[in-house]
Structure 1
Amino acid sequence: MPQAFPIFPLLSYDSRKNSMTEARNWADKKTLGGRGHFDLQSSPASLVLDSVRAGDEGLYRCRVDFKKSPTRNARTNLTVIIPPHAPTILTKEEGQPVWTMVGPYNEGESLTLTCQVDGGKPTPRVVWLMNGEVVDEKSETQGPQRVTNTLTLEKLTRSHLHAALVCQASNNNHSTPVQTIINIEMNCEFYVGFSCLKDNKRGMDKF
């Protein structure tokens, strides 16, 4: 169903009876709260909204009335992008948030973490990166305001020690993606080797 236009204008600028410098300028403070104004220096003149809010989204109509010419109307749709909140990383075992460091894990164990992102319009894309490389980009929508991505790393090795895991969320090309970074802590097995040498002259073994 088409969206109805407001009964009263949001802004008006009337110079039909006066010069441009003496034109009547009016704004509906209840709707825009003083955040809107006409920019007459631009070509063509434009409506400027400061501190854009989610409620500003919608269909706008510009109506131009002339003294002797027919009225003209132009319509445009304003879409407001809302960035998502910073990701929260949860452990599989306890489902609790982790910050900075996760672990320690033993070599050969598996690691499972869930990245949870709330908010954002349109729905954000959530990916996992490890040391700068994308390792998981399969996200799931859990509701109108939540997206998750669960990462599993099988058979951890010594190379995962202090590896940087980044959960990153983005929903547009205009703002920087939000992200949370943690490092993997591990218990690594170390092997110590010994050499045994025979000293023929003294008849002794050296260790």
Structure 2
Amino acid sequence: MSVPPTPILLFMVLLVAPESNLCLDEEVWAVTGVAGRSSELPCYLNPRTPGDQPKLILWYKEAVRSPLFSHDMRAPQPQGRTQKGEGRLTVGGGVATLTYHSVTPQHAGLYECRVDFYDSPAQSNFVNLTVIELPRSVQILDRHTGPAKNGVLGPYYTGQTILISCISLDGSPLPNLTWWKNNNIVNSEWEVTGPGQVQSDLEISQVTREWHNQTLTCTASNTRLASPVAVSVLIQLYCFPVAAMGYLPP
């Protein structure tokens, strides 16, 4: 079964209202990244004096007193880049972009980009980085017999009621769970059943022969920036002859 495609993006930037705890009349850009992937934090170089140029760019993170990255335009770095560990500061096209190659929850927080110009007053850009953690695992199991074996649940008898569950572990924020069959949503209800655990139950009452060799898929999704984490199982039934035909010799 194929789940409707979800576009995969590396980062998302939105303009939000100023943060009240900054005590500054500045706009805050919101960037959302996915753990383990690249994220870019923009800093726009907009001098108040026409034709002015930046001379020093400093990137800070809240609660950290020393700058994470600095770029002195008076002594340009090769190709306008400053590399430090897991991050890179790139200056060009009127933007000083801080790029993390593989973000983690520890990267989340409020950043300040301070720009000193030759003639214009210093300028600060604020960026709030949120890091999404995808679900660690998703599992489908029969409520009576346990997890699927080699991707198969059953075999079941026709007329039997099947009770199965989809369980997702971890993820921040916690994901939504959805059941799919033949590209159609079967069930999208779920509940939090423990720390970091989300569960969705599915009941198939009086299962019929049409369910034999049908595929059920459960998807766990907590962001539009990445494809859902999905797991599929094959439903198998005992298929006995519907009727027996006898033969009488002439």
TM (norm. structure 2) is 0.67
Q: Which of the residues 133, 148, 164 maps onto 2:184? A: 133
Q: CA deviation at 1:14?
A: 2.0
Distance 2:119 2:93 in 1: 25
Distance 2:100 2:156 in 1: 52
Q: Percent identity?
A: 30
Deviates further, 111-120 or 166-175: 166-175
Distance 1:177 1:42 in 2: 35
1:86 aligns with 2:137: yes
Unaligned runs of 5+ in 1: 197-204
Q: Which of the residues 96, 99, 105 maps onto 1:54? A: 105
**Residue 65 of structure 2 corresponds to which residue in structure 1?**
7
Q: Secondary structure at the match of 1:55?
A: helix
Alignment CA distance shift 1:189-1:36 (3 Å): same
Unaligned runs of 5+ in 2: 1-19, 23-61
Distance 2:236 2:148 in 1: 16
**Residue 154 of structure 1 corresponds to which residue in structure 2?**
205
Alignment CA distance shift 1:44-1:170 (3 Å): same
Q: 1:32-51 to 2 correspondence within 5 Å?
A: 34-51=85-102
1:193 aligns with 2:245: yes
Q: Give the aligned residue type for 2:72.
A: D
Matched length: 190
Larger Rg: 1
Q: Secondary structure at the match of 1:9?
A: coil
Distance 1:42 1:111 in 2: 60
TM (norm. structure 1) is 0.80
1:117-175 Cα deviation digits (max 9, x unpaired): 11212221111112332111101112341111011100011111111111111112222
* Cα RMSD (Å): 2.6
Q: Give the aligned residue type for 2:167.
A: Q
